[in-house]
Structure formats: structure tokens, C-alpha cells
Amino acid sequence: MPKEEVTVSIRHATLSLVVLSAALLAMGGSASARVVPAAKPPCTAVAKGAHWTYKGQKGTAYTVLGVNGASCTVGVKWLVRLTSHHGYLVAGPAGWKCIVTSVVGECTLKNGGIFEWGPKLKK
């Protein structure tokens, strides 16, 4: 094979390889791309629950925080029931696992949603 034909064949093979690689990358990128839902910003609310005493303060107002898509509305709705009990795996909303201590608590979902509460302290 003359030298010119070898050079043309190598260039053609290189160009074909580049085009094939680009096509594979494009297919692989779109096939493995995931759609990630937009993260909801944390929410906060103040609601009344069971009476508490902490660090010389007392009251019935709690601050509720919801993160990773957890609803503060659910936290507020369940606050009275949850602050009236203490312990690990306290019965909470369906699908939630809750831990409650004397003045703070937290409920979590398998998908990572969390709502928690604590006494609303005066500075």
C-alpha cells in the first residue's frame, strides 16, 4: 500500500473513532442523566404544645422546623400529641418515626424528610 493511502486510511479511521466516541458519550450522558427534584426550602412555624420548663423558662410555645420536604403543617398538627408523650418511636403521622424527649423531638421519613420541634425560648 502506498504511503499516501496509509495516511488517508489512518485519518479516516481516526475521524471515525472520534465521531463514534462522541456519539457514545452523548448516548451515555443522556442515558445516565437523572432528574433531581428541586429541593424545598426549610420551613418554620410557631405552635402551642404541652407545657414545658427549660433553663429557667416555661411556656407552651414551640418552634417547629421542617427540612428536606417535610411539612411544617404536619408538625404543627401533631405537636400537641407528640409533646404529650416521651420516648423512642412514639406514634406519629403514618410513615413517620418519632423520637420525643422532655422538651424537644424529631420525626423522620424514609426519604429524608424531617420535622423537629423545641421550646420557643426568650433570648
Please choose, from the candidates 36, 56, 50, the residue with its C-alpha nearest in 3D space to the C-alpha of residue 83. 50
What pairing do the DSSP bridges indicate for beta strands 105-108 and 43-54? unpaired
d(CA 79, CA 47): 8
Instruction: Choose among 110, 52, 60: nearest CA to 86.
Output: 52
Of residues 87 and 30, more confidently modeled: 87
Per-residue pLDDT, averaged over 23-34, amounts to 42
pLDDT tens-digit profile of 38-90?
567 899 999 999 999 988 999 999 999 999 988 888 889 888 888 887 777 77
pLDDT recorded at residue 58: 94
